[in-house]
Amino acid sequence: MTKRKDLMKLGAFFHPTGHHVAAWLAPGSQIDAGTNFSHYVQMTQAAENAKFDLIFLADAIATRDGNLQALRRWPQYMAYFDPVTLLAGLAAVTKNIGLVATATTSFNEPYQVARRFASLDHMSGGRSGWNVVTSSNPSEAFNFGRDAHFGHSERYERADEFVKVTKGLWDSWDDDAFVRDRASALYFDAAKIHYLNHKDKHFSVRGPLNVARPPQGYPVIFQASASDTGKELAAQIAEVIFTPLHDLEQAQKFYRELKDHAAKYGRTDDDLVVMPGLNVVVADSEKDADEKIKYLQSLIHPEVGKELLSTALGGLDLSDYDVDEPLPDHIVSQEMQKTNSRVSYLFKDKPTLRQMYENFGTGRGQRTVKGTPTAIVDQMEKWFLNRGVDGYLIQPPVLPAGLDEFIVRIIPELQNRGLFRTEYTGRTLRENLGLKRPTSRNAPARRSSKALSEASAHKELQ
């Protein structure tokens, strides 16, 4: 293994009660986490004290549909704060840690998203990040005047245009546009406001944004990429990649291909940070870690297990299958079994349905490491030094207990090996992640006559 000049990046991925599907039943979880602001304050401040780069919040803008007998035992997304609103509150009680939230491009408008994340970036002093998703919950369409979700290719086409428009809106003002000079009675320089005047297949957006350019230029762009279409979008727009990776060889291949592919769009290796999810179960021995996992798996009700697996496998009806028998070969396509990184690992050695949902329920598609602090850090270090990852989004199985264990037992070992920071060195999330601040598309500042001609042009379009 060769030493790296950079340090490992770490994010804390907060799923309200924890990432295990039955976490809410465990004594170490905050049972009302979905509507408990103090819970998030305590965890975020703990993560900041441990020098995490960021906290990360997923989202869904609909309750789950499906088997209500199962869903009544599974609180995920059934009662859950709006993540950007939550992060705005957390910005007021933190100083250094990055604040990253999910917002869908399928059921939002670019102007709304640009305004929210620009506002959060200002409120936090340059610590915001946007996780770009196209929505995986089909029920979301019903809340936004649609009878069905957009088709797969259309989602990503829309997302590509959405991000371009959003970035354009963040460039509405030059960094020094607001002079706010009482002596001359001049609030802003008219040469430094820019109308987007975007018209394309999915969006028509005039602009400008009524928020100053964000401190980071753009909030950091996150994206999960699993499908080929998703990876193509990631190579173009993403700065932090969150994707399932289960073995080092696979991770190295993904890491190299993604960064090489991004070069086609004029991007360098340093413009992308690969941070897959990592479920960490720490104990005094591997046997004790296995017992902790076994206990959590025992809490999964079979109805919940089937519903969880059904969703992961594309909505298959599993109600008639015996949980202690393997799924028939024809039920799940060979392509999904071999190529879908989120679920392909579940099919190894012909497991029973129960074994599949127990395996998936532990990390919901992300890799799990277990054992002593030394053994866990050995694995984290190996992947990092061998360039399978640049860091990890840590997914504690149970919250807050799992986060506390990681902070007390894993962070010191990482620091002792010189893999992770002992103090923040950057002021913004970009600086802490080693990402450059983007230059506005309108730089250098346009001459006053040019800006005024833009203003005239937008009037003519009205």
Q: CB neighbours (10 Å) of residue 253? A: 13
**pLDDT tens digits for range 103-138:** 999 999 999 999 999 999 999 999 999 999 998 788
Instruction: Name the percent of the chain lying above pLDDT 90.
Output: 69
Q: How far is 241 from 273, CA to CA, in rounded Å?
A: 6
Q: How far is 361 from 146, CA to CA, in rounded Å?
A: 31
The angle, 0 to 180 degrees and rounded to 10, between the axes of the packed helices 228-237 and 152-170 is: 10
- Per DSSP, 289 falls in state H
**pLDDT tens digits for range 332-379:** 877 676 667 677 778 887 889 998 888 888 877 789 999 999 999 999
Q: How far is 56 from 100, CA to CA, in rounded Å?
A: 5
**Structure tokens belonging to residue 28:** 């170490």
> Cβ(141)–Cβ(149) under 8 Å?
yes
DSSP per-residue codes, 117-164: HHHHHHHHTS-EEEEEE--S-GGGGGGTT-SSPPPHHHHHHHHHHHHH
pLDDT at 448: 44
What mean pLDDT value characterizes the chain? 90
Picking from 418, 40, 396, 10, the residue whose alpha carbon sits closest to that of residue 240 is 10
Residue 451 has pLDDT above 70, yes or no: no
**Local structure of 98: helix, strand or coil:** strand
**Structure tokens belonging to residue 157:** 């086409």
**Structure tokens belonging to residue 7:** 């340090």
pLDDT at 278: 97
**pLDDT tens digits for range 377-407:** 999 999 999 999 999 999 999 999 999 999 9
Q: How far is 150 from 176, CA to CA, in rounded Å?
A: 40
C-alpha angle 433-436-437 in degrees, rounded to nearest 5:
115
Amino acid in position 330 = H
Residue 238 has pLDDT above 90, yes or no: yes
Q: How far is 156 from 315, CA to CA, in rounded Å?
A: 21
Q: Which long-range contacts (CB under 8 A, 24 or more apart) does 68-74 make?
A: 69/303, 70/301, 70/303, 70/304, 70/306, 70/307, 71/307, 73/301, 73/303, 73/304, 74/21, 74/304, 74/307, 74/308
Instruction: Name the percent of the chain lying above pLDDT 70.
Output: 94
pTM for the model: 0.91
pLDDT at 219: 98
Q: CB neighbours (10 Å) of residue 267? A: 17
> Cβ(20)–Cβ(294) under 8 Å?
no
Amino acid in position 315 = G
Q: Which long-range contacts (CB under 8 A, 24 or more apart) does 385-388 make?
A: 385/1, 385/2, 385/3, 385/4, 386/1, 386/248, 386/252, 387/4, 387/252, 387/255, 387/256, 388/245, 388/248, 388/251, 388/252, 388/255, 388/274
Residue 193 has pLDDT above 70, yes or no: yes
**pLDDT tens digits for range 299-338:** 999 998 888 888 888 788 888 899 999 888 778 877 676 6
The residues spanned by each domain of the chain are 9-298+366-461
| Residues β-bridged to residue 352 | 326
| Residues β-bridged to residue 224 | 242
> Cβ(124)–Cβ(91) under 8 Å?
yes
Q: How far is 327 from 304, CA to CA, in rounded Å?
A: 17
Picking from 430, 409, 439, the residue whose alpha carbon sits closest to that of residue 125 is 430
Q: How far is 391 from 310, CA to CA, in rounded Å?
A: 30
Q: How far is 10 from 92, CA to CA, in rounded Å?
A: 22
State whether CATH 3.40.50.2020 applies to domain 9-298+366-461: no
pLDDT at 168: 98
Output phi, psi for 131, to 5 deg.
-90, 110
Residues 6 or more apart whose Cβ sits within 8 Å of residue 379? 369
280: left (phi over 0), alpha (psi -120 to 50) or beta: beta
| Residues β-bridged to residue 173 | 193
Sign (positive or negative) of CA dihedral 347, 350, 352, 355: negative
pLDDT at 338: 67
Residue 64 has pLDDT above 50, yes or no: yes
Residue 454 has pLDDT above 60, yes or no: no
Q: How far is 460 from 174, CA to CA, in rounded Å?
A: 23
End-to-end CA distance of the chain: 61
> Cβ(355)–Cβ(324) under 8 Å?
no
pLDDT at 69: 82
